[in-house]
A and B are shown apart, each in its own frame.
Chain A
Amino acid sequence: MTLEAGKCPNGHVSYPTHPRCPECGEPQEETFDFSDQRGEVVTWTKSTATPPGVRQPNTLAIVEFDVDGDVVRALGQVTTEEIETGAEVEPVYVEELRDPDVGLKRENPESQEWGGYRWDPV
């Protein structure tokens, strides 16, 4: 139950984490949990044509956080159907963001995580 960004020795930060830093190729050695922070909506959409197992409509937003002095962006579902660019949101944990038992990965739901954070307008 974390929202975790990775940081390399050169100070580049990414969410999600990667084995090697996307900027410079060094291993990411530090992680920062930013699930207790508030962020700002960069852009959003209300998607009405959603795949099997996904809520309809599915409002999504890219949110910008300040993680240890660096800008980190994250995509996530929004708790409300409508939101505004520039709105302040906080992450709230949800056990299953979509139903893993339908859709393309139904035969192997253990291949990835299904829990995560939605953005809740403050």
Chain B
Amino acid sequence: MGVAVIGASMTKFGQRDAWIQELLAQAGEECLDDAGVTPTDVEHLYVSNMASGEFEGQTGVMNALAHDLGVLPAYSERVDQTSSSGGAGIYEAWQSIASGASEMTLLVGGEKMTHKTTGEATDIIASITHPAEYKHGVTLPSFAGMTARHYLERFEAPRESLARVAVKNHKNGVDNPNAQFQKEITVEQALDSPIIADPLRLYDFCPITDGSAAMMFTTEERAKEITDEYAVVSGIGGATDTHVVHERDDPTVMGGVVESSKQAYEMAGLGPEDLDVAELHDMFTILEFLQLEGIGVADQGTAWELAMDGTTAKDGNLPINTSGGLKSKGHPLGASGVAQGVEIYEQLVGEAGPRQVDAETALACNVGGFGNCVITTIMEAAE
């Protein structure tokens, strides 16, 4: 059964006064309105959220949201796949429609993080690691630092290429009113910012963020009755890599990206050459290179060239992260994968405003942990 997306929304990302329950309800309500769907028509509700218990002491968020939105007695479930919880939510929502279990599925992803100190938030995220890694005080940024050093040394890539990713995504974020930062930066600023995990500096990292995003899924048949403007999930794949990061054969290959994108391309009957626009999980600048290589857009060790020659800029051959990416839009863990879906949906139905590019086919790659779990989604504009 064809799966369609008929509505999408996101809240302002950034430092918000609202707590998780209110953030989720805000995106959820806006999505119901955007899709023109009555709450009681929703049959399945998925809530992508990594750690509301650890961050806020609030659990059972799917139940809270179902009640607050009046979608009772819909089946509800919280989806946790760490940073890729949002992508995993898209997978669950797609599955619910494709299997015939639901005819109308609402997905809402959200996280409330900024009330914690940076150290506390980093610790909650670092708790995804194996105890043999955690005891050394490893953090996700330090995995990024080690991987970036290896990549730059092995492929003789210029340090500036990473700064170019940050500059590009900040530039794109200026046109996104919901982004945490709507501010351009320069290569010099990026290269002079404080060191966080050598050789990576402050502007190589996404911020800590509160926010929520939502999407409405239904069958293609039903979508045609409801609206002229919809997108189709034509391919999706999910895969898991090692829990222990140093056990991977090649530190620069994200196995989950390779495998999940292979599945998504196969299902869609498409390849990397067919993509018009993509959202990649730029939690760290280096990840944009590893994903461009993992999804087959660039050969191993060469994706940095695309940042240098403008291929991935908004006016380039393959615009990457027109939303501003996690880098400038922000990264509320459970919301991020859904917000990627929101961006490619808006690009495909022509609702991206000043960020609009010409796109019929779009991909989103949502990475959990340091490539530990990955979901790749391909969406196409309705014919």
The CA-CA distance from A113 to B131 in the complex, in Å, is: 7
Q: What is the chain A residue whose CB lies nearest that of B129? A: A75
Q: Is the CB of B142 within 8 A of A58?
A: yes
Q: What is the chain B residue whose CB lies nearest that of A114? A: B135
Interfacial residues of chain B within 123-162, with CB under 8 A of chain A in the complex = 123-124, 126-127, 130-139, 141-142, 145-147, 149-150, 153
Which among B20-28, B69-77, B192-200, B317-325 touches the partner chain?
B192-200
Q: What is the chain A residue whose CB lies nearest that of B201? A: A48
Q: Give every chain B residue within 8 A of A61 (Cβ-Cβ).
A: 146
Q: What is the chain A residue whose CB lies nearest that of B150? A: A43
Q: Is the CB of A49 within 8 A of B135?
A: no
Q: Is the CB of B197 within 8 A of A43?
A: no
Q: How far is the CB of A14 from chain B (nearest CB, A)?
A: 6
The CA-CA distance from A102 to B198 in the complex, in Å, is: 25
Any B CB within 8 A of the CB of A28: no
Known: A47-B196, A116-B135. A104 touches B146 (CB 8 A): no
Any B CB within 8 A of the CB of A19: no
Tally chain A residues at the interface, Cβ within 8 Å. 39
A90-109 interface code vs B (CB 8 A; 1 in, 0 out): 00000001100001110000
Q: What is the chain A residue whose CB lies nearest that of B126? A: A51
Any B CB within 8 A of the CB of A60: yes
Any A CB within 8 A of the CB of B225: no
The CA-CA distance from A113 to B135 in the complex, in Å, is: 7
The CA-CA distance from A54 to B135 in the complex, in Å, is: 9
The CA-CA distance from A62 to B139 in the complex, in Å, is: 14
Contact of B146 among A60, A74, A105, A111 (CB under 8 A): A60
Q: Is the CB of B246 within 8 A of A74?
A: yes
Q: Give every chain A residue within 8 A of B101 (Cβ-Cβ).
A: none
Q: Is the CB of B136 within 8 A of A97?
A: yes
Any A CB within 8 A of the CB of B186: no
Known: A75-B136, A97-B135. A47 touches B141 (CB 8 A): yes
Contact of B136 among A16, A105, A111, A116 (CB under 8 A): A116
Any B CB within 8 A of the CB of A25: no
Which among B84-92, B114-122, B260-268 touches the partner chain?
B114-122
Q: Give every chain B residue within 8 A of A49 (Cβ-Cβ).
A: 118-119, 122, 139, 141, 196-197
Cross-chain pairs A/B with CB under 8 angstroms, 16 sampled: A43-B150, A44-B146, A45-B149, A45-B197, A46-B195, A52-B119, A55-B137, A58-B137, A60-B142, A61-B146, A62-B246, A62-B251, A73-B246, A104-B54, A112-B131, A116-B136
Q: Which residues of B contact A (CB under 8 A)?
A: 54, 118-120, 122-124, 126-127, 130-139, 141-142, 145-147, 149-150, 153, 194-200, 242, 244-247, 251
Q: Which residues of A contact B (CB under 8 A)?
A: 14-16, 22, 42-55, 58, 60-62, 73-77, 85, 97-98, 103-105, 111-116
